[in-house]
Structure 1
Amino acid sequence: MVTAQETTLQRLLEGAKQYQVPLYQRTYSWTELQFARIWDDVCQLARDRADHPGATHFIGSLVLAPSPAIGPVGVAEYLVVDGQQRLTTLTILLCAIRDHRAEHEDPKHRLRLDQQYLTNPFEEQRWLKLVPTQADRNAYTACVKSTPHVGGDDAVGRAYRFFAKALDDLGGAEEPIAIEQIESAVITGLALVAITAKPGDNVYRIFESLNNTGLTLTQADLLRNYIFMRLPHRGPVVYESLWLPLQQRFTPTELVLLFWLDLVHANPKVKQTDTYSSQQERLEKLRTEADVEAEVQRFSRLGALLRLILHPTEEQDPGVRQRLERLSAWGTTTVYPLALHLLDRREGGTATSEQVASALLYVESFFVRRLIIGRSTMNINRILLSIVTEMSKSLPVDEAVRAYLSTGRKHFATDAAVRSAVRSIPFYLHGRAPQRSLVLRWLEESYGSKEPVSLEKATIEHVLPQTLTDEWRQMLAADLGTDENLDEMYEALVHTLGNLTLTGYNQELGNKPFAEKRDKLKRSGIRLSQEIVAQPRWGRPEIHARAEALAERVINSWPGPTAQAGNQSEVPWDLMIKALSELPAGSWTTYGDLAALVGTAPMPVGTRLANHPAPNAHRVLQVEGTIAPGFRWLEPDRTDDPREVLRAEGVTFDRNGRADQGQRIGTEELAQLAGITSEELPERAFRHRPGRNGTYAERFLEQVTARQTPAVSTATVVLLEAWTAMGGTLSYGTGAETSCFLMARRREHELGSIWPVVIYPGGKFEVVFQHLSVRTPFNDIVLREELRQRLNQLPGVNIAAARLALRPGFPLEVLADVEAREALLDHLRWFLDQAQPSTSEDPVVD
C-alpha cells in the first residue's frame, strides 16, 4: 500500500515538485512552543555537525500521496496527507534564512534558495513548492515572495517573525553559530521518513487512521476532513464559499458545538465527544456530491443562527435579543439546542419573533424559579436537551415550551411554591454566585426606573450580616418566641432572599449595626433597598415582609407553569437526605441547621426524621448539642444510647451531656456536603478586571484594608509575600468578594493545580480539605490529617477531624500574632514541599 524512505528537506524540495495540502487538512496552527522546539533542535544539530559533519536529527514523518492530477511529465505533484505542520514550518524557516542572508551577506542567496527549495521558477501555474490550504495561502505566499505583508498577525506570520528574530539573535548567543551552519543543518541534517501511498489508495482513509484519536485534531477538523474527502470535484468551491466563512465565524470549540447541536435536535442523548462519529454515520448515507454540498449549506445556515445565540447583540428583534442576552448571561450551554431550534423555526416561518421571545422567557423563568426553590441543577441538563424532541409539535412554540416544562417533576415552581420558598429557602447557598447576582439585578431592572443605576459594581449584601455581633443578637432576640433558639432563627433568615440586596458599599457595610447600614443604603439609587431603608429595625418580621414583596415581584416578572403543573411547594427532603448521607463520623448537626438548608422549620425536620428512614439521623441534635427528648431509633429492636454511638464515632461530650460545638456542621457546610454550592476557582493569572482600573490582586488588597484592622491587613500582606518568597504563587477569584488563593501548583503543572488555603477579605482563612481530597498527593487522607494537626497547633485554631471533607477555616485575626504567623508559614512551607515532589525527569511536551 505504501513505501517508506528516509530523506532530507533537500531531497524533498529539489527538482520540479509541488506539495499540496488538501482541503481536509486543518489550517497551519503551530505555536511558539513548537517553533522553539524545532529551533532548539536545529541549533543543537548545527553545533554537533561542527565536529561531526554527517550528524543528522530525526524530526518525524511525512505521509504523501500522488495527486490525482499528476501527469507523466512536468511538476511531480503530491498531497500532504500528514505532516503539513512540520513541512510548512521548515519552509517558513528557509524563507527567514533566505531573507537574513540576502540582507546581511549577499542578495544572491534570495535567488538561490528560492529556485532550489521554495519555488518552481519556470512553472507559472505551479510555482510554489508547497501549497497550503486557502486560509493560509495569502500569508504563506507573502512569506515566500517576501512582500511587505510578511510576518502578519497570523500563525504563518508569527512563525516567520519567531525565526527572523532567532536568526538576528544568533551572534549574541553564548555559543555563536554561523548562519551557514544553520542552513546546512536544516537542508541536509534534518531527517524525515517520507511515507508515500500508491495511486488509487484511499488517501482520506490513511489520514483518518493517523488522526482518529481526536488528540491532534478537533472533532470539527475530522468532520471537515471527511466532508471534503466526499467532495473531490466541488471541494474548492464549497470550501471557499461556505466552509471557510463558517470556520472564520467560530472558534474551533464553537464549531464542535455547532455540529453537536445539530445532532441533539434529533437525539438528545448524543455526547459531545461522539460528534464526529455520529455526524460521519449520518453523512455516510449521502450518495452524491450535491447531497454533501447541501449539508454544508445547511451547516452554514445553522451557523448563522448559532452566531446569534453566542453573540446576542447581533439579533435584530429587541425582544428576542433581550432574552438571548439574559440566557447567555445565565451561563448554561444546555439551553442552546432549544434556542437554535426556536431560531430555526422562526427562519422557516413556523414561529414569530414574539413567540420565540415568549418561549425563551419561559425558559428564563424556569431557571429563576428553580433557583428560588433550591432546585437549580436537579436534572436540568436532561430536561433541556430533551425539550426539542419531546415538546408538542401541534402547539405554538412558546405554548409548547411552557407545557413541556410544566409536566412531570421538572420543578417549574408554581406561584405558591415561590411565595413559600422566598421566605424560607437559603437563596444565597443555591446555584452559582453569578446566577444569584443576576436574579437580583433583573429584579432591580423590573422596577423600570427612569434613571436606572449602573449595577456593574454592585454586589450582594446580607443586611442581617453573616457574622453576628452583640447588637444584632440583641435586635433579633426581640423576635424570639417562647421555645425558640436565636441561632436557629438566625440561620433560617440570614441567606434568604428577603435579607439580600445589591450595593456598591459592600466593603464598608460588613457586619455594621443596622442604623449604619441603613444610612449607607439611603445614598444608593438601587430600588431593591428602598423597603429596607424605610424600616426602623431589621428583624424577622421585616425580612419576611420584604420576602413577600419580592415573591410577588418574581411572580409578576417571570411567568409560571400551566395550571396543570403539580404542587412543587413540598420541602426538598432529598436534599436533606443527601447532606445527612455525607455527614462524616465524629460530627453532628442540628434540626435548625437542616431546616435552614431545606427551607423549613426545626419541628418539621424532627417529625420527618422520627417517621422516615434517613442516614445518620442519630447525628442530628438540639442546638445545645443534646439528644432530643423524643429521640427514638426507627428500628423497633434497637435500644442503644445514641450518645454512646456518637462517642464511639468520635464526638466528644462535656459533663452536662452536650456535644462539642467545634464538631458541629452548620448550614453552609451542609450545603457543601449536599453539593449545592460550587467551589470558586482561581484565575489563571493576574488580569485586569473588566470595567475597573487595576488587577484582582489590587482589588483583594483594597477589600482586606477596608474590612480588617491595620494589624490584620498588614499581617495578611506579610504572609502573602512570604508565601511567594518560598516559591508559591498567588491567584484570585472573580467573585464580588475577591478571594486570594495560595497556589502551590498551577494548572500547567504535570500533576495539575493545587492550593491549601483561600483568604477572604471578610476575615476567613479557609482550609480547602474538600479540594485537596482529589489532588495528588493530598488525596491521601494521612497527609490531610497531618495538615489539620499542624494547623491546630496555632492559638485559637481547632479544626475537627470530621471537617477533613469540608472547607473549614479560622479568623484572619490569627495572623496578627507574629509567632502564630511564623508557625503558620512553617506549615505552609511543609505543604509546598509535599505538593511539589522533586523529579529528575523533565516533563514531556507533545
Structure 2
Amino acid sequence: MRGDAKPLVKMMQGAETRFVIPVYQRNYDWKREQCKRLFDDLEEVVHEGRASHFFGSIVSKADMERRVLIDGQQRVTTTFVLLAALCKQIEAGAIESENPEKTARYIRNQWLIDEYDEVEKLKLKLVKGDQLAFRRVVEGDSDKLVSGSNVTENYRYFLDRISGTDLTAEQLRDAIKLLEVIDISLEQGDNAQLIFESLNSTGLDLSEGDKIRNYVLMDLPEKTQEQCYEKYWNPIEVNTDYDVSSFIRDYLAAVMRKTPAIRRVYHVFREFAAGKDSEALLSELLRYSEIYRKISDGKVGSAKIDPVLTRLGLMNMGVMNPYLLSALVAYEDGTVGESDLAEALRAVEIYLFRRWVADVPTNALNKVFEMLHWDAMRGVGDGASYADAVKYALLRRDGSGRLPDDKEFRDGYERTDFYSTGRWRFYLYERLENGDSVERMDVVGMLESGAASVEHVMPQTLSRAWRNALGEHADEIHERWLDTMGNLTLTGYNSQYSNNPFEDKRDRENGFKDSHYSLNSFIASCEEWGPEQMEERYELMWERFLELWPMPSTDYVPTVREHESHGLDEDYGLTGRKLAAYSFLGARHTTKNWVDMIQGVLRELYVLDPAGIRAVATGLKFPARYFSEKPLDYGFEVGGGIWFNPGCSTSTKCDALRRVIDRVDGVEYSDLTFEVYDEKESGE
C-alpha cells in the first residue's frame, strides 16, 4: 500500500481513466449539508487565496486504467456532480466566464467523459441505482433527470449555488483543481477489507449493514460481485426497507440464539460467516429477508396466520422478530403446520399484551424470543404439538420473563391509563372493536388518519353541567374513572362532542346512538353517565379483556424437565436456584455451583482487560471489597495477583459481574447466560 498527496482532478484526467464504484459499496448518500460545506470551502479557497484544500483520502485498487474505489466514493462522486453542474451553468450563461465554450469543453473532456469511447463515455461508474441519474446529469437535460436520487438532488443544489456565486467559472474550476487528497493505492497482497475497516472504524459513516455488504462481496471477482449484488443483496435491501443492520441482527439472533448489540452486528456476523460459502450465505440471507418482509406486511398467504401476524405487527415490538423468523421458516419448510403456528402466535400475542397491561419489565424478552422456537422444537421432539410446546415454554418463565396470570392481569387493568397508550393504541382499540369478527371496522386506518380518535365519555375537563350531573363527589369520580376502560371509547366526532353533556353526546346527530362502533352500544343504551354506569362498563370491558386475551393453558409436561435459561441482563430472582451450566462469549461450560461460574467468568474477563479488572478491584466502590491484592484463605486468583472472595450471595455475585462487565469494552451483560433449575429438583 502506498499513498501520495495529489490534486483529485489529476486522478480524473486521462482519456481512459475510469473510477468504478463496486457494487458492495452503499449508494451515494451525501446530502445538501455536505455539498454546502464543499461549496463554501471552494469559495473561501478563492477569497483567501489558498494554495490547496485538503479533501480527505481516496483508497483504490488499480485494474488497468480503472480505479476501483474502496473508500472515498462520496467525495469523488460529489466532485463529478459539481463539475457537471458547472458545465451546465456555463453553457446556460448562469455564471460569468471568460470563454464559456472553451471552459465548458475543457471541463467535460478532461474530467467527465472520454469523447473517443463509443461504448461508455462516462469516467465514473456508480452502482446501478445511481448510474442512470449520473448519466442524465452529465447530459444536462433537465427534463430527463432521475427524481429521488441524491445525485440529482445535489446536482440541482450545485446549479443554484453556481448561479448565485460571485466567482467566475474559471475561478471555481481552478478552486476545484486545488482539492487535494491522499491517494492510497492498494498493491498485490494488501487486504482490502481490513484496510476498509480500519479507515471506517472511528466514524459513523457506515452502518453495520454497509460493512457486512462489503465483507460479503468485496473479495469476489467483479463480475461475480455484480451478479451477487443483483441476485441477492439488492433484493435483501428492498425486503428490509434498506435497514439491513436491524434485519441481520434479528437473523443472527434467530440462527445463533443470541442477540448482538447493534454496534457489534458486523463483528458477530464476521465470526459467524467465517469459512462459509459467500453465495450460499447470501442465498440464506435472501430467504430470511423474504420472510422478514412477510412479517412486516403481515402476510404469508394463510387465512389463519395472517390476522394474528398483522396484529403482532401493530404491537411494533421488533424483539419478537428472531422467533417469528425461525417459526415461519419452519412453517414454510413444512415442519410446523398452519393451525399449530396460528395457535402458537396467538399465545405470543396474549403473552405480550398481558405483560404490557401488567407493566412487566421487558429486559428478559430478548432471551425469551431467541430461544422460544428452539424450546418449542424440543417439546415437539418430546411428543407435544408445536402450539402446546410454545405455551409451555411461555408459562414456565418467571421473573421478568413471566406471563402474568389473571390476578396480575387484573391488577394491571386497574392501574393502566388506557388513554395514554402510545404505540399500543392502534392494537388495543382495533382488537377491542373488532375481536375475531370477519366484518371489521378499519380502526387503525381511521386512527392513523385522524378520522377517528379515542374519546372520554365523561370529559377531561368537567363543565358546570357535568359537575351538576355527577354530584358533590364529582372530582373523586372524575379522578377514579377518567382514563379507565369504563369511560373510554372510539368516535369520529370527538371535536363536536367536546365536553358537552352526556345526553347531547348520546342523542345528537352522529352521537353515540348513531355510532357504528360496537364499543358504543352500551353507552348508547344508558340514560345517564355516572359512576354506576362507568363501573358497569368497566366490568363489561374486563370480561372482553378475558375473552380476547385469556390465560394460555396446556396439558403438556416434558418427559424430562428442562433447565431454564436466563441472562445476566434479566431481572430474575436466583434465590434457591441451582446452576447446571453457563455460557459466556459463545462458549458453554457445565458446572456445579455459582462459585465455579464467577471464577471462570472473571478469569476470562481478566484476559480481555487486565487494567479494567484491576481498576475495579482497587477502586472505592462496589464490588472492590470482594477483591484483594493479597492471597485469600477463601477465594481464588483472578489473575495478576488479583484475588476474589466469593463468600457472598448469588445475587451479589451477579451484581459484581455486572459492574466488572461495565468496565470491559466489547462485552455485554447478554454475553453471559445461566442454565438453572429449582433446588428441589436437584435429584433430576
Query: 472, 482, 486: which is aligned to 1:498?
Result: 486
Query: Aligned equivalents of 1:432 and 1:146: distance in 2?
Result: 52
Whole-Å separation in 2 of the counterparts to 1:382 and 1:282:
19
- Partner amino acid for 1:206? I
Unaligned 5+ segments in structure 2 are 94-98, 558-570, 572-684
SS of 1:19's equivalent in the other structure is strand
Shift of 1:407: 2.0
How much has 1:488 moved relative to structure 2? 6.5
Q: Does 2:312 match 1:327?
A: yes
Query: Is the Cα contact below 8 Å between 1:428 and 1:436 reproduced in 2?
Result: no
* CA 66–177 in structure 1, closer or farther in 2 if over 3 Å, else same: same
Residues 1:177 and 2:167 are matched in the alignment: yes
Secondary structure of the residue aligned to 1:6 is strand
Which residue in the other structure is 2:285 paired with?
A: 299
State the shift of 1:529 in Å: 2.1
Matched with 2:18 is 18
SS of the residue corresponding to residue 238 of structure 1 reads helix
The 5 A counterparts of 1:137-148 are: 137-146=131-140
In structure 2, what is the equivalent of residue 164 of structure 1? 159
Q: How does 1:603-642 map to 2 (within 5 A)?
A: none
| Cα deviation, residue 298, structure 1 | 0.9
Query: How much has 1:12 moved relative to structure 2?
Result: 4.3
Q: Say if 2:211 is the partner of 1:222.
A: yes
CA distance 1:3–1:193, change in 2 (3 Å): closer
Cα drift, residue 221 of structure 1: 0.3
Equivalenced residues, count? 536
Question: Is 1:86 equivalent to 2:75 in the alignment?
Answer: yes
Tell me the equivalent position of 1:192. Answer: 181
In the alignment, does 2:230 pair up with 1:240?
Answer: yes
In 2, the alpha carbon distance for the partners of 1:8 and 1:300 equals 38
Which one-letter code corresponds to 1:114 in the other structure? R
Change (3 A) 1:486 1:412: farther
CA offsets 1:707-740 (integer angstroms, 9 cap, x no match): xxxxxxxxxxxxxxxxxxxxxxxxxxxxxxxxxx
Assess, with a 3 A threshold, how the Cα gap between structure 1 residues 513 and 380 changes in structure 2: closer, same or farther: farther
Distance 1:262 1:543 in 2: 47
Q: 2:240 touches 2:292 (CA, 8 Å); kept in 1? A: no
After superposition, what is the alpha-carbon deviation per residue over 1:227-257, rounded to whole angstroms, capped at 9, x for unaligned? 11242362221112221232244444x2111
Q: Which amino acid aligns with 2:336?
A: A
Amino acid at match of 2:551: G
Does structure 1 residue 366 correspond to structure 2 residue 354?
A: no
Instruction: Work out which of the residue numbers 249, 273, 297 in structure 2 matches 1:283.
Output: 273
What is aligned with 1:316?
301
Residue of structure 1 in register with 2:193 after alignment: 204
Taking the TM superposition and a 5 Å limit, the aligned residue runs for 1:246-261 are 246-252=236-242, 254-261=243-250
Partners of 2:20 and 2:124 within 8 A in 1: yes
Task: Give 2:544's aligned residue.
Answer: 553
SS of corresponding position for 1:334: helix
- Tell me how far 1:85 sits from its aligned partner: 0.9
Per-residue deviation, residues 756-815 of structure 1 (Å, max 9, x unmatched): xxxxxxxxxxxxxxxxxxxxxxxxxxxxxxxxxxxxxxxxxxxxxxxxxxxxxxxxxxxx
1:136 paired with 2:143, answer: no
CA distance in 1, matches of 2:77, 2:54: 17
Q: Contact 2:357–2:416 at 8 Å: present in 1 too?
A: yes
Matches of 1:14 and 1:46 in 2, distance apart? 26
Structure-to-structure mapping, 1:436-585, within 5 angstroms: 436=425, 438-446=427-435, 448=437, 452=441, 455-456=446-447, 457-467=451-461, 491-509=479-497, 512-519=500-507, 520-562=511-553
Cα gap change, 1:99 to 1:323, in 2 (>3 Å):
same
Take 1:229 and 1:564, find their aligned partners in 2: how far apart are those partners? 53
Shift of 1:295: 0.5
Q: Which residue number corresponds to residue 729 of structure 1? A: none
Give CA deviations for 1:358-386 in whole Å, capped at 9, x if unaligned.
Answer: 33222222233334445485744543444
Q: Deviations over 1:257-291 (max 9, x none)?
A: 111111111223422221111001111232xxxx1
Please give the alpha-carbon distance, in whole angstroms, between the structure 1 residues aligned to 2:90 and 2:359: 70
1: distance between equivalents of 2:415 and 2:470? 18
Q: 1:336 to 1:548 in 2, by over 3 A?
A: same
Q: Provide the secondary structure at the position in 2 that maps to 1:196.
A: strand
C-alpha contact (below 8 Å) 1:320/1:356 kept by paired residues: yes
Offset from partner CA, 1:319-352 (integer Å, 9 cap, x none) = 4332232222222211222222222122212223
Moved more, 338-347 or 451-460: 451-460
Q: Does 1:60 align with 2:51?
A: no
Instruction: Report if the CA contact (8 A) 1:65-1:199 is conserved.
Output: no
Q: 1:308 to 1:31 in 2, by over 3 A?
A: same
**Aligned CA distance change for structure 1 residues 222 and 255 (closer, same or farther; 3 Å):** same
Q: CA deviation at 1:534?
A: 2.2
Relative contact order, CA 8 A, sep 6+: which one is greater? 2
- Residue pair 1:437, 1:459 contacting (<8 A) in 2 also: no
Please report how far the alpha carbon of residue 178 of structure 1 lies from its aligned counterpart in structure 2 after TM superposition: 1.6
TM-score, normalised on structure 1?
A: 0.57
Deviation at 1:532, TM superposition (A): 2.5
Q: Alpha-carbon deviations, 1:543-595, whole Å to 9, x = none?
A: 333233323333333343115799xxxxxxxxxxx9xxxxxxxxxxxxxxxxx
CA RMSD of aligned residues (A): 3.5
Cα distance in 1 between the residues matched to 2:326 and 2:43: 55
| Mapped contact 2:112–2:138 kept (Cα < 8 A) | yes
Are residue 407 (structure 1) and residue 396 (structure 2) matched? yes
Change (3 A) 1:453 1:32: closer
SS of 2:516's partner is: coil
Q: Is the 8 A contact 2:456 2:487 kept in 1?
A: yes
1:7 aligns with 2:2: no
Tell me how far 1:212 sits from its aligned partner: 2.5
Equivalent-residue separation in structure 2 for 1:327 and 1:168 (angstroms): 53
Deviation at 1:431, TM superposition (A): 7.5
SS at match of 1:497: coil
Which TM-score applies when normalising by structure 2?
A: 0.70
Once the 2 structures are TM-superposed, how far is the Cα of residue 162 of structure 1 from its aligned partner? Answer: 2.0
How many percent identity over aligned positions?
27
Inter-partner Cα distance in structure 2 for 1:19 and 1:450: 59
Conserved in 2, the CA contact under 8 Å of 1:102 and 1:109?
no
SS of 1:285's partner is coil
Matched residue SS, 1:357: helix
Query: Within 1, Cα distance between the matches of 2:420 and 2:316?
Result: 12
In structure 1, stretches of 5+ residues that fail to align are: 71-75, 171-175, 479-484, 567-577, 579-846
Alignment equivalent of 1:435, drawn from 407, 414, 424: 424
Match of 1:610 in 2: none
In 2, are the aligned partners of 1:376 and 1:431 still within 8 Å (CA)?
A: no
Structure 1: how far apart are the matches of 2:316 and 2:220? 38
Q: 1:514, 1:88 → 2: CA distance?
A: 65
Q: Specify the SS of the correspondent of 2:489.
A: strand
